[in-house]
Amino acid sequence: MTKNTITIELTCNGNTLRMGPNEDIDITAVTGLESSEIEISTSDNALVDGASVDGKKIKPRPIHIEASFKNGKNIPENRAGVIRFFNPKYTGKALITNMGVSRHIDYELEGWTFGVIRNMDNRLKIIVDLICPDPYMLNVDNFGKNMAAISPLFAFPWQVLSQRATDKLDYPPKARGLMLGGMTTGYRTLRKEAVLANDGDVPTGIQIQFIAARGGVTNPKITNTGTGQYMRVNVEMEKGDTLLIDTNERHQVITLNGVNYYQHIDRKSEPFQLEVGANYLEYDADENYTNLDVNLFYTPKYLGV
């Protein structure tokens, strides 16, 4: 008999329900983790055989779970806990681990009930139907990169002289090879390009955080050099300002210091996605791009787990 390797952790309104091999609740059946239904839109031509495909859409993901408590003890307490947990008023998050791979997805409760008890098996059984409006499973990690990072140039052990040495022989013998008088301890990367790897199954959006860390900046811009698409905002940033651009579908926003700033978007800008594979991005500004810190965040999406 094949051993169940799936663990499901449901979190909703601050409460957690865990099911799987090492939990108090066993999973007896589950569907919907591998794929969602696909809707194909077609159009007919009276003079041509068949149909033309106009578009494809992945529909919301239904997940069906059947589970049972491993023993029949504390049934009243278990029943009360399950009833309290499955509250349809709240959106939940499912963390699913299968064969060592973990993915998470937001869900709405479509319906649930206790299973019928048959024969002498009085274990409490649960039947749950979830619906995930966004059908994609997400990586549990949110990847990030600073395009204008400080690269460190020294490591410990580290020693400091009371005054700058002018000759290497002036260093104490125990410190030679560990230090240089007045040396640079780090440098700022001035290359404006970065490569982001999307190992998901479909394109994904990205969050771009422009920070005017060293002074004013005029009209920051970031370009996907592979597609030519870019996002540019008409803004005079002052030192300390933070401009956030989010290109994720259903979450597209632009804010300046937390305040909506979408109306200042350059009219030719496009909220581009990161394609599957390597993506080459470049940032710039009309004035003072060297004053920027540029942080990029993205989460790969998968068709299943």
For the chain, list the domains and their CATH numbers: 6-135 (2.40.30.200), 143-149+189-302 (2.60.120.860)
Please report the pLDDT score of residue 159 as a whole number. Answer: 52
Which pLDDT belongs to residue 193?
Answer: 87
* Paired residues of 25 in beta bridges: 69
Q: What is the pLDDT of residues 130-189, one digit of tens each?
A: 999 999 999 998 788 787 755 444 444 555 555 555 565 555 665 555 444 545 555 455
Q: Cβ(205)–Cβ(263) under 8 Å? A: no
> Which regions in the chain score pLDDT beneath 70?
1-4, 73-74, 119-121, 149-191
Exposed, middle or buried, 47 (CB in 10 Å: 0-12/13-18/19+)? Answer: exposed
Sequential DSSP letters for 200-262: SSB-B--EEEEEE-SS-EEEEEEEETTT--EEEB--EEPTT-EEEEE-STT--EEEETTEE-G
Structure confidence at residue 119 (pLDDT): 66
Stated as kind and residue range, the H or E segment containing 287 is strand 277-287
Looking at residue 147, what is its pLDDT? 77
Write out the DSSP string of 52-73.
Answer: EEEEEEEPPEEEEEEEEESS-T
Residues 86, 90, 95, 98: what is their CA dihedral angle, to the nearest 10 degrees?
50
- 191-207 as b/e, with b when 16 or more CB fall inside 10 Å? ebebebebebeebbbbb
Q: Are 262 and 181 in contact (CB under 8 A)?
A: no
Radius of gyration of the chain (CA): 27
